[in-house]
Structure 1
Amino acid sequence: MSNKIAIITGASRGLGKSAALHLAAQGVDIIGTYHSNVAEAQNVIAEIEALGGRVKMLQLDVGDSSRFEGFVGQVAAVLSAFFKADRFDFLVNNAGVAARASFAETTEAQFDQLVNVHLKGSFFLTQKLLPLIADGGRIINISSGLTRFSPVGYVAYAAMKGAVEVWTRYLANELGPRGINVNSLAPGAIATDFGGGTVRDNPDVNAWVAANTALGRAGQPDDIGAAVAMLLGDGGKWITAQRIEASGGMFV
């Protein structure tokens, strides 16, 4: 996978960071985005450079589509000046926000934020980046196990991810003539700081997840980073238009 270039949104922490590190370890160059934490972004740069990889981190609010045109210009400039390339190979739409509320308690503000980040943001960022994606490239849209199982509190978030999964299939069909694979990867409960770090930091929640997972534990960021690297490796070249769940067998 050497000389390939991946764009990963939300690459400064959690699943995005793990994906960036796993891909960098396999020789993939990284363009990552971060929302606001410059220190976290710098840490990712240091870790990837320690692996001998090449990386640039760019600031981006995926929930603000008005900035996408400028961001694409930044990507084109970085590709040319830093990577000596005019195309990139892989796009991982990972950046996300959490909102936990029952259906009755979900506010329009929560709903709109989830739409803007998870659905509208990924949809139109991918559209804007299409001219820069190499033919034969690959796209992974991060979904969620919550599109299959339905605990109270995640109705709006899961609805967005369900829409992402449908969009993924349509995108795979439209981009097939260019040889571009498009899949959705659906993590189960992962021990990160996402959603306030509940799975990671609350022992009762962690134990409940483990008890309801075939492999007997909550997921770790590396479980998902490794899955991303697998799908973008040689083993993923004939996989497209699929929802792949990486949950350790939650609620099977």
Structure 2
Amino acid sequence: MNAITSKPAQALQHPITLVTGGSRGLGRNTALHLAAQGHDIILSYRSQAAESASAVAEIQALGRRAVALQLDTGHSESFADFAAAVQAALAHTWQREHFDHLVNNAGLGIHAGLMDTTEDQFDELFRVHLKGVFFLSQKLLPLMNDGGRIVNISSGLTRFALPGYGAYAAMKGAVEVLSRYMAKELGPRGIAVNVVAPGAIETDFGGGLVRDDARVNGFIASQTALGRVGLPDDIGGAIAALLSPGNRWLNAQRIEASGGMFL
């Protein structure tokens, strides 16, 4: 992956973090945790402009600056235009040329058994979770400061197997391998790359099954060392901690945030 070296971040400037899928769910929670930690935010949203505006308002209420930009991570042909929009936002809102950290969070969930998964479903998962992460990172790296950090989102499903998630977990497993290669190739720029792998979380992801189905929720809680299902704050807090100043030496690691699920 080719990368253009950029200027190091200024010590007194607030870090700017770009969170894909930052208007809702875990991405929004992550953006708010980061804002509370002193980060300014660029967030992307696919179609929910009202939700993204609400997220920006919440970040601003915390005293930080934020910009929301439209992006469909399943359409790589739009990534050059998105990078140009990021560059324009940096110049207009921050009078800066580069941002500091990237959280590749945007995703979708498809639950289907191996014999029922269609090629269209497989291709959609591939475009969003693997091709999207690869080529969006490629387009944004010239706008990142040296010494920045990337967090790619995976899943506990790469460690344990549950029926119906084979295609989804395969993409996330590939992201974990890709992250190690990114860490190796971006090391000369001082950019660390890590993976956060959430366990089952109470959100609307995948139709809200974990949140809304009491039987599923109870089963997962019974199989988790800490005795409950995860909440968005558990993941947003973990990602924010990974991007805190004290964690600069962590690199090329898969960090599972599952409360000890299926030990």
Q: 1:87 maps to which residue? A: 98
- Which amino acid in the other structure matches residue 170 of structure 1? Y
Q: 1:141 maps to which residue? A: 152
1:188-232 deviations in Å (ceiling 9; x for gaps): 000000000011111111101100000000000110000011100
In 1: Cα distance, 2:147 partner to 2:104 partner: 18
Q: 1:3 maps to which residue? A: 14
Q: 2:3 maps to which residue? A: none
Q: 2:86 maps to which residue? A: 75
1:36-74 deviations in Å (ceiling 9; x for gaps): 011111110111111111000000000000000000000
Measured after TM superposition, the shift of residue 13 of structure 1 is: 0.7
Moved over 3 A (4+): none
Q: Which runs of 5+ in 1 are unaligned?
A: none
Q: TM-score, normalised by structure 1?
A: 0.99
Across the aligned residues of Structure 1 and Structure 2, the Cα RMSD in angstroms comes to 0.9
In 1: Cα distance, 2:121 partner to 2:251 partner: 31
Instruction: Confirm whether residue 222 of structure 1 aligns to residue 236 of structure 2.
Output: no
In 1: Cα distance, 2:13 partner to 2:106 partner: 25
Q: 1:154 aligns with which of 156, 162, 165?
A: 165
Q: 1:16 aligns with which of 14, 27, 32?
A: 27
Q: 1:207 maps to which residue? A: 218
Measured after TM superposition, the shift of residue 2 of structure 1 is: 5.7
SS in 1 for 2:106: coil
Instruction: Confirm whether residue 181 of structure 1 aligns to residue 192 of structure 2.
Output: yes
Q: Which runs of 5+ in 2 are unaligned?
A: 1-11
In 1: Cα distance, 2:214 partner to 2:57 partner: 32
In 2: Cα distance, 1:118 partner to 1:53 partner: 29
In 1: Cα distance, 2:145 partner to 2:13 partner: 15
In 2: Cα distance, 1:224 partner to 1:212 partner: 18
Contact 1:31 1:58 in 2 (8 A): yes
| Matched pairs, number | 252
Q: TM-score, normalised by structure 2?
A: 0.95
**More off after superposition, 108-117 vs 81-90:** 81-90
Identical columns (%): 62
